[in-house]
């Protein structure tokens, strides 16, 4: 028996990285999955392999949200879980960043999840409740030089998560956030990001309480828990998946 049997989930940014791990794990745990992404080829290939449904989707578009939600309800009859995972990172000092770059990061990472929460309220009410899982970051607790936009978006995700928990609990909808740190994906390993953060990746990770890079499946485990009925009394909470990074001095 799967931990997500009979659940229908919508996952954003599911074509690669952490989102791809969510798609795979949710399918393994018995969920029906619709996932959205901008990456058409990778999305179609993953759908073919896993039996999930891919929809081309930009999370900043209200129309795309409506289509993705409609796809889930029409194809699988209901919607129980939303994983707001899609995100982008631009490493730029404030003095060098353009307003357009700032706005794009905020749009994708903060406005996108907000639009998603808004889009799933009615279908989740119709399903008798649901679970919304928002992806923040360790940068939702502590910022770094060059990450003003990213950090603002991830602090903001904590805010909309708490507000959503307050508003939606009475409808049986739980809203929680996941806070990954140092997960080896194309986003984190992007040479521009690595250069901007200016840390020797290997030495940094060897010094963590859990001395390695995280892998996408580490984050998927937290999402499965929050999506499942095992988390029935959890709302407005935060799960760090960071190898213990923020447990140390200075944070």
Ligand X SMILES: NC(=O)c1ccc[n+]([C@@H]2O[C@H](COP(=O)([O-])OP(=O)(O)OC[C@H]3O[C@@H](n4cnc5c(N)ncnc54)[C@H](O)[C@@H]3O)[C@@H](O)[C@H]2O)c1
Active site members? 150
State yes or no: residue 111 binds ligand X (CB under 6 A): no
State yes or no: residue 19 binds ligand X (CB under 6 A): yes
State yes or no: residue 85 binds ligand X (CB under 6 A): yes
Q: Torsion angle of alpha carbons 103, 109, 112, 113, nearest 10°?
A: -150
- CB of 170 vs ligand X, minimal distance in Å: 28
Pairing between strand 238-241 and 53-56? unpaired
State yes or no: residue 87 binds ligand X (CB under 6 A): yes
Write the CB contacts of 148 (distance below 8 Å, at least 6 apart in sequence): 92, 94, 97, 102
Among 142, 187, 197, 234, binds ligand X (CB under 6 A): 187
Window of 14-22, 25-33, 164-172, 203-211 that interacts with ligand X by CB under 6 A = 14-22
Tokens linked to 201: 């990746």
Window of 68-76, 91-99, 175-183, 223-231 that interacts with ligand X by CB under 6 A = 175-183
Cα separation of 108 and 114, whole Å?
Answer: 10
Among 58, 101, 217, 238, binds ligand X (CB under 6 A): 58
User: Under the phi-then-psi rule, with left for phi > 0, alpha for psi from -120 to 50, and beta for the rest, what region is 172?
Assistant: left
State yes or no: residue 142 binds ligand X (CB under 6 A): no
Phi, psi of 173 (to 5 degrees): -105, 120
The mark string for 27-46 relative to ligand X (x by CB under 6 A, - otherwise) is ---------xxxx-------
Cα separation of 97 and 226, whole Å?
Answer: 35
State yes or no: residue 181 binds ligand X (CB under 6 A): yes
Bridge partner residues of 56 (DSSP): 37
Residue numbers of the site for ligand X (CB under 6 A)? 12-13, 15-19, 36-39, 57-60, 85-88, 108, 135, 137, 180-183, 185-188
């Amino acid at each position: 028996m799967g931990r997500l049997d009979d659940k229908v989930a919508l996952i954003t940014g599911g074509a690669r990285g952490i989102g791809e791990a969510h798609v795979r794990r949710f399918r393994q745990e018995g969920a029906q999955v619709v996932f959205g992404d901008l990456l058409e080829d990778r999305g179609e290939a993953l759908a073919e392999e896993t039996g999930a449904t891919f929809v081309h989707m930009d999370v900043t578009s209200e129309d795309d949200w409506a289509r993705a939600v409609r796809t889930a309800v029409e194809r699988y009859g209901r919607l129980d879980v939303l994983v707001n995972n899609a995100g982008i990172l631009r490493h730029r000092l404030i003095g060098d960043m353009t307003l357009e770059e700032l706005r794009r990061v905020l749009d994708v990472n903060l406005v996108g999840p907000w639009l998603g929460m808004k889009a799933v309220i009615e279908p989740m009410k119709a399903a008798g409740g649901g679970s919304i899982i928002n992806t923040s970051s360790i940068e939702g607790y502590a910022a770094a030089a060059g990450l003003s936009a990213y950090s603002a978006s991830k602090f903001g995700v904590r805010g909309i998560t708490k507000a959503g928990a307050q508003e939606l609990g009475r409808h049986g909808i739980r809203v929680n956030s996941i806070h990954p740190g140092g997960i080896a994906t194309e986003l984190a390993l992007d040479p521009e990001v690595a250069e901007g953060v200016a840390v020797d990746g290997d030495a940094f990770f060897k010094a963590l309480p859990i001395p390695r890079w995280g892998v996408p499946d580490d984050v998927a485990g937290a999402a499965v828990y929050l999506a499942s009925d095992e988390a029935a009394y959890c709302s407005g909470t935060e799960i760090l998946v960071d190898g213990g990074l923020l447990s140390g001095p200075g944070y």
